[in-house]
Structure 1
Amino acid sequence: MIAATFRSVRSSRNLMIGLAITGLMVAMALVSFVWTPHSPTGLNILSKMQAPSARHLFGTDAFGRDVFSMVMTGAWNSLSVSIVAVAVGMGAGVPLGALAAARGGVIDGLIMRMNDLAFAFPALLTAVIITAIFGPGAINAMIAIGIFNVPVFARITRGASLGLWSRDFVRAARCAGRSDVAITLSHILPNINHVLVVQATIQFALAIVAEAGLSYVGLGTQPPQPSWGKMLNDAQTYIYDAPWLAIFPGLAITLAVLGLNLLGDGLRDVLDPRVRRQR
């Protein structure tokens, strides 16, 4: 089985490309912890608005900051916000969805109506509400995006679990006296993990876009810490005079989202047993 899975990984072009792009993003974020070509927050007015060159690969901004160093550091900020937001969504959404599928009835209806209520408040609106109470910042962006992810994972988990509760192996476990919690942990979740993994990669990509959007309007990562969204906001003033200020952070967001979407599609091909049988 391991050999078959390895062959599936090698034969999935989307997975390999997605892994390469995502790996590059993660590597760039981790390297920024210990090294950047220049200080991502250091000001050097004498070097402001320089075009891309050997000294400054992506040029410099209006304050003389190295854009390449800012893109590297921004990768970690986007990555950390997205990881926490997806973890919050999975940590709360998966148990709620599993509970709704296991119990059904009133509990199922109540959880789904709560999900509908959460969907009425998108991440940006939730961030505005949280910011009005606690102030802007990366932590509040994590909370806002995480809250938006909860109903997504709850619906996915519930939908994938419902069909399994009528299967013979689940009925056998019930006849053996196992509790709903034990059945969920030992039988339900292992059989839907491929669905959750793929959905997590999709939500990860959406979280990066959401974090960039929140930073763009000033509700996400705060200066002086670089953020791809904040860099785009700063670049719009100089879009004609210094287009590189918008091009490089925009490309970083595009490649990160593309890589994660390809990774999710490739993981679906490898992990979903129905797709493997068709292939």
Structure 2
Amino acid sequence: MSSPPLAPEDLQRLSDFLYRQTGMLFGESKRYYIERRVADRMAATGCASFGAYFGVLRAEPAEREALINAFTVNETYFYREEHQLACLSRDLLPDLAGKRRPGDKIRIWSAPCSTGEEAYSIAIWLLENWRMVDAYNVEIVGSDIDTRALEAAHAGAYAERSLARLPQALRQAYFEPAKRHRWQIIDDLRESVTFTPANLIDGPSLAAQGQFDVIFCRNVLIYFDDASRLAAARNLYDRLTPGGYLCLGHTESMNRISDRFVARRFDDAVVYQRPERPA
């Protein structure tokens, strides 16, 4: 039996709750999307009314996590926005490596990483296209607020759709056929990427991630309002090493959010750099 429609005040309470937790805006215009997911969670928890469910939601961190998982968007695939990967190997990493010694650590962060395609794409791209990859200690970390997505990333098994844009030679080199028409990342590659939970608007929790030389944060700020974008921008700035680079989605621009970054135009992409010294 389906749950009754949410009263306007209940819809607002839930939207406010999700906003505080994730920075994402929901409201009356997304009523059907919200009600469908809330109905699933009410059924899973055995709650007969929204009031009872909201009490469970506020009291139980596990249910809060489950609801957030239900509302996240995980649309991604291997080699998405390939031009940024080209910029990474041709421009960003040579610049960063030129200021380091061989063997030094270079950290790259994919946040949000969804089900892991982007983080693994970075690893594959560097193995194939950056000849200095073995000269440095390259650490790749993927993070997401969706714990189900992180579990899938850890597992590293993907359907055909995720690999549709990956050249056949790379599929053969880095994947093995698996059950149910899926492809399994080879163990060496899967073990080279670390996955951790992270919330882009929660600065204190992000501090545990340390700092990164390159951050890929693509196609998430479009779901935030101005206040959440500004909070995320501050946190991303803090997570970048001085001189480090931030890559956004092709429809996103840091120039409209924060003046702390410097826009850098390379042949393959526009990226945003944290200045080496404060302005």
TM band (smaller chain) = under 0.3
What's the TM-score, normalizing by structure 1? 0.27
Which one has more relative contact order, counting CA pairs under 8 Å at least 6 apart?
1
Which has the higher Rg, Structure 1 or Structure 2? 1
What's the TM-score, normalizing by structure 2? 0.27
Q: Hey, which of these two has a bigger chunk of strand by percent?
A: 2
